[in-house]
Structure 1
């Protein structure tokens, strides 16, 4: 009788730890962008505008990278759950906390008006028609504020679910890419308003691309690994300056939305940066200290309130006129605002995530 133990080999699981690193870096870029203090193309000297464009462009890949990672993560879930089950889970993890923080922002705005009223200011619409105030404020927050991208993300997911049977067809991806390119051309032609709200179909392609990347992960990663560091860094640098050049040109011809995420040059830059981050791989020190899997969504939800209601309490007493400051002074203020916003959002997200109300940050 053969008593030698039989060795059972289990399939090797893929290591997707790079996902958390990219998710964390992308959120840092998103928060940084929202901490700006002056309107675009404010400075009179061309050199200052180029510096401003360079600062903004540095992390302008963040939104597209976030959609790519989102698509990468939902690919297997599309196969595990029915569309109804998936959307039900999404409500619990995404929509519920999203609505909570929107209502929180509205209530803080109401409290601010009452405090101002106690000091002699007019109550305005709150006093005459609170319901109308609530509806108008809710609509404005959902459509204009950074909270819009949560709704946009869910709409993109729903579109992919509706066309689930075509998910891995290249022609389907091509159609979605054409929608995105429409917005790239529209920046110049102004057929429709160039606000992010109108770009409702502009980001579906990047979510789909993330799904496609997951499906063909091994082949794509082999290409990235085979590409030399010199080539990929050179491409990142070249596409960065092309994107800066396009935004500078758009500013020079009076385009108000010169830093639009869906600029063609920024799309290419974002894809190159995503490839670069894939080549870098997992940043264990970043994941260990910033806990992106636990805190990323919470940071996104909380940072809007910190910027809208918290930062004015810090900066208004200083009575700084940002419009009169130099590009270097405003850059320093931007970094301070970012550090305060990110730190507060991070610690609040972590603290809430350890309580019984952790659902408020999607945990």
Structure 2
């Protein structure tokens, strides 16, 4: 969740630097956390494995509506309404009132943008992936089933070079099924997997991660150089390898007591995910709206520091609000 929030808080997207050193600083900063999305699906599959056998597809989706879909829809509508209120305030002060001419069309477009262009999309994608695994439940632990979805994911990877279809994340409808399946599959053989991982030397894990990280950075630079507008796409082949190796690192690390005790990730993670995008879209522009916060005039170092500042504010506020909501009757809005 640190990685996902940082990625969305960062201001380095789309900025082009002429100096190679600046470019590398930018890419290294952004690529470091790019394992987070695939890890999100892997961990999701890891944690829900047993539930596929405990519940029927209908029962599982009903549970998901209460804990996932209901809070997700609540915050989407909250963000849409907050945006409309902002537009009304702007219009009342003599600003742009385009939404007043066709409020329904404006509302529909806002809903579409939030659902498909923001991080809220990945909750829908996650639910679609779960539904697919539930539909093919009887094949869940067969390797050929997983390999089919691995091939589907690789189609999106290759598409970055040929652009047969749109490369945007919302187009990768089935690109993440494999990683959810892999999490489920690995969890079934948890004892064997952990036994193998514990035998791997820390130095080997570190070397592999560094190599895949550097390879991922090089692929970003290569794609950007050849005109790609989606050079940081999560489903790059190098980033898939980096994400898988980072997942092994996370498994080898195991539980971190400080995080478990102070951040309570099992309780707060979903709330942070739902709230952080709202803070980025609605609050951050109000805090950093002065001309001096102009990313196009900042050096790469200043933009990195600015990104860290935004991340600290967004994550801190999301965590605080989630903890606060968990103590009230509105705890259901953050999955409590």
Per the normalisation by structure 1, the TM-score is 0.91
- Taking the aligned partners of 1:194 and 1:86, their CA distance within structure 2 comes to 31
Q: Which of 224, 234, 246 is the equivalent residue of 2:197?
A: 224
- Taking the aligned partners of 2:96 and 2:317, their CA distance within structure 1 comes to 32
User: Which segment drifts farther, 133-142 or 305-314?
Assistant: 133-142
SS of the residue corresponding to residue 37 of structure 1 reads: coil
- Taking the aligned partners of 1:188 and 1:325, their CA distance within structure 2 comes to 31
Q: CA deviation at 1:313?
A: 1.0
Q: Which of 53, 56, 61 is the equivalent residue of 1:82?
A: 56
SS of the residue corresponding to residue 169 of structure 2 reads: coil
- Taking the aligned partners of 1:39 and 1:324, their CA distance within structure 2 comes to 14
Q: Which of 255, 263, 282 is the equivalent residue of 1:282?
A: 255
Q: CA deviation at 1:197?
A: 0.7
Q: CA deviation at 1:37?
A: 1.5
Give me the CA root mean square deviation: 0.9
Indicate conservation of the 8 Å contact 1:65/1:270, yes or no: yes
Question: Matches of residues 212-291 of structure 1 in structure 2 within 5 Å?
Answer: 212-291=185-264
Higher alpha-carbon Rg:
1
- Taking the aligned partners of 1:136 and 1:60, their CA distance within structure 2 comes to 29
- Taking the aligned partners of 2:162 and 2:31, their CA distance within structure 1 comes to 22
State the match for 1:329 in structure 2: 302
Matched, 1:148 2:153: no
Indicate conservation of the 8 Å contact 2:6/2:311, yes or no: yes
State the match for 2:19 in structure 1: 45
Runs of 5+ consecutive residues of structure 2 not aligned to the other structure: none
State the match for 1:181 in structure 2: 154
- Taking the aligned partners of 1:115 and 1:169, their CA distance within structure 2 comes to 56
SS of the residue corresponding to residue 316 of structure 1 reads: coil
State the match for 1:313 in structure 2: 286
Give the aligned length.
336
Indicate conservation of the 8 Å contact 1:38/1:323, yes or no: no
Question: Matches of residues 1-363 of structure 1 in structure 2 within 5 Å?
Answer: 27-125=1-99, 127-317=100-290, 319-363=292-336
- Taking the aligned partners of 1:234 and 1:122, their CA distance within structure 2 comes to 54
Task: Show CA shifts across 1:183-217 (max 9, x none).
Answer: 00000000010000110100000000000011011
Q: CA deviation at 1:339?
A: 0.2
Per the normalisation by structure 2, the TM-score is 0.98
